[in-house]
Homo-oligomer: A and B are copies of this chain.
Amino acid sequence: MDRVRNVTGKTKRLPRYVREQQMLDAAVQMFARRGYHAASMDEVAELAGVSKPMVYLYLGSKEELFLACIRREAGRLLDAFAGQVNQADAPDQQLWHALRAFFVLVAENRDSWRVLHQQAPAHGEPFAGEVAAMRTAIIAFAADLIDQNIRSRGVSEATEHDVSALAHALVGAGESLADWATEHPDEDPATTARRLMNFAWMGLDNLLHGSIWRP
């Protein structure tokens, strides 16, 4: 009933791409708030202002719709995180820019973040895999920066395995802070990014200087 209508009273015919984006927007919102299973195709269609068969016509099935959501949002996140980095910068500067972009994105797109972080991994393949791939890319990016840092100082005891572990820890810390920031809306994303830089990068620095914690 709320669908956009033109002056003749007929339903407005929008180009396919626009309609698709509307549906994806609606789907992301529903999946984030209700969860994948509890979100019904009926509700998605209604929120998108379209009839159910349209959703099927454009997106195929509930699984494909969910996948399309995941892909779109994962792409956006990757773009934000890694896309705008200047490879000529120092590693810490690169990480800093990436993290800040990430926290900004999450703050502005909570539903998107919940779909990627909370929903997709819980519903098995192929959804979990899609997010896992994105996460792997991010971790690789972090690992690369850590590696650059290490090499630039000539320290080299750390294996690839060690670096990978550090990158995982760094990303996990970032994800957790993203959730935390969600509950503190007055926290500036840049501040959150600085917190993480201090927590993580400084710890790495220490290791590089040989001060190691032992039980």
User: Hey, which bits of chain A sit against chain B, CB under 8 A?
Assistant: 34-38, 92-93, 96, 118-119, 121-124, 161-162, 164-166, 168-177, 179-180, 184, 190, 192, 194-207, 211-215
Contact = CB atoms under 8 A, between A and B. Distances in A.
Given A198-B212, A201-B203, 17 more contacts: A34-B124, A92-B213, A93-B215, A122-B122, A162-B195, A164-B180, A165-B180, A165-B192, A168-B179, A169-B196, A169-B200, A198-B207, A200-B203, A201-B213, A202-B203, A202-B207, A206-B206
A168 B179 CA distance: 9
A122 B34 CA distance: 9
8 contacts: A35-B124, A118-B121, A162-B195, A172-B176, A173-B176, A194-B215, A198-B213, A199-B203
Nearest to A168: B180
Contact of A170 (B173, B201, B211): B173
Contacts of A171: 176
A145 to B, nearest CB: 14
Contacts of A122: 35-36, 118-119, 121-123
Nearest to A96: B215
Name the 3 nearest CB pairs between A and B, nearest first: A172-B176, A203-B203, A122-B122
Nearest to A198: B213
Name which of A168, A175, A201 has the most chain B CB atoms within 10 A of its CB.
A168
B195 A166 contact: yes
Nearest to A121: B118
Contacts of A202: 202-203, 206-207, 211-213
A36 B37 CA distance: 10
